[in-house]
Structure 1
């Protein structure tokens, strides 16, 4: 009987390690299922919206303030955008990064429909989510994942929350953000073009 205790302890540790290692995948499946069902509460359980909003705000503000066109004499609108940009970014991010808005946006995406067709069952979902992408543990409590998106590369960051994980950041490509704000400020300079 004494021999069985170490075996049971080893099995429990193996199961716990496997669960902790696989739980980011299950979080992604939970996000997919919540979006598919239109379930905002379930999405809140898999995404830390306060952290996600703050991280998106930080990225957008950094892109606005690092724009080399901003502050030039000919770019009055960029200077104005820099002055009020943070307030506008904060307000827009608070309005857009909500469970309801994300559900509406993603459900209308053709990429989401393609992904749903590739998935089959809970394990199939987890495998399909990570196929073609790449992931790595940045620390014991942070996992990064780059999904296989053709147009540009985004970086999803999952952070440990107890034994599970939550999506806490979506890092947008810096070049894409700079180009976005460069084009927008260029359009404001010459609105009649």
Structure 2
């Protein structure tokens, strides 16, 4: 009987350790998927619908705040905000891709990552792009929420939020410095 209790405790301890290490394993899987340009592997680690929804809300909120109360009060201003919201939704759909995520995770601006005028680098050359989230600051916010923070070219924080469902961790939100 004691043997079964110890076995049960060992299984529970192993499950707890795996769950606690989950965000780090997920970040490593994201790094490998981005470096290998493996979109299927990346899709397994990222909750794209939740991520796109969050980014759309952040951009809409930033536009409304920057427009100010005068624009929001006028009919023409509200129509303009609606059009801008549609444009930003399309932008999010286009940019939330493996290439766009890799650029954000490395703290670089997306348009620098996809610059086609730059000559291609030879494989294994010095100065190769670093791993995504390599220099990130990690932090548990709760047992089901983990953040990894990198800084963009201007030193502003970009926070990547991983959430847990069951024992599986996935990237579900990116907090941009808008």
Q: CA deviation at 1:144?
A: 2.5
Alignment partner, residue 52 of structure 1: 51
The unaligned stretches of length 5 or more in structure 1 are 117-127, 178-193
TM-score norm. by structure 2 comes to 0.73
Structure 2 vs 1, CA of residues 51 and 35 (structure 1 numbering), >3 Å: closer, same or farther? same
What per-residue deviation string (whole Å, max 9, x for no partner) do you get for residues 114-166 of structure 1? 347xxxxxxxxxxx94x66131233x322223236671111111111332111
Higher helix share: 1
Q: Secondary structure at the match of 1:154?
A: strand
TM-score norm. by structure 1 comes to 0.68
Alignment partner, residue 145 of structure 1: 148
Alignment partner, residue 182 of structure 1: none
Distance 2:11 2:84 in 1: 52
Q: How does 1:12-161 map to 2 (within 5 A)?
A: 12-69=11-68, 71=70, 81-99=80-98, 101-103=100-102, 108=113, 113-115=129-131, 129=134, 133-138=137-142, 140-147=143-150, 151-161=155-165
Distance 1:160 1:13 in 2: 17
Asked if the contact 1:43/1:99 (under 8 Å) is kept, the reply is yes
Distance 1:149 1:62 in 2: 21
Q: CA deviation at 1:6?
A: 1.5
Asked if the contact 1:70/1:82 (under 8 Å) is kept, the reply is no
Q: Secondary structure at the match of 1:114?
A: coil
Aligned match for 1:170, one of 166, 171, 174: 174
Q: CA deviation at 1:3?
A: 2.1
Q: CA deviation at 1:18?
A: 0.3
Asked if the contact 1:51/1:169 (under 8 Å) is kept, the reply is yes
Q: CA deviation at 1:54?
A: 0.6
Q: Give the total of aligned pairs.
A: 156
Runs of 4+ in 1 over 6 A off after TM superposition: 77-80, 104-107
Structure 2 vs 1, CA of residues 20 and 105 (structure 1 numbering), >3 Å: closer, same or farther? closer
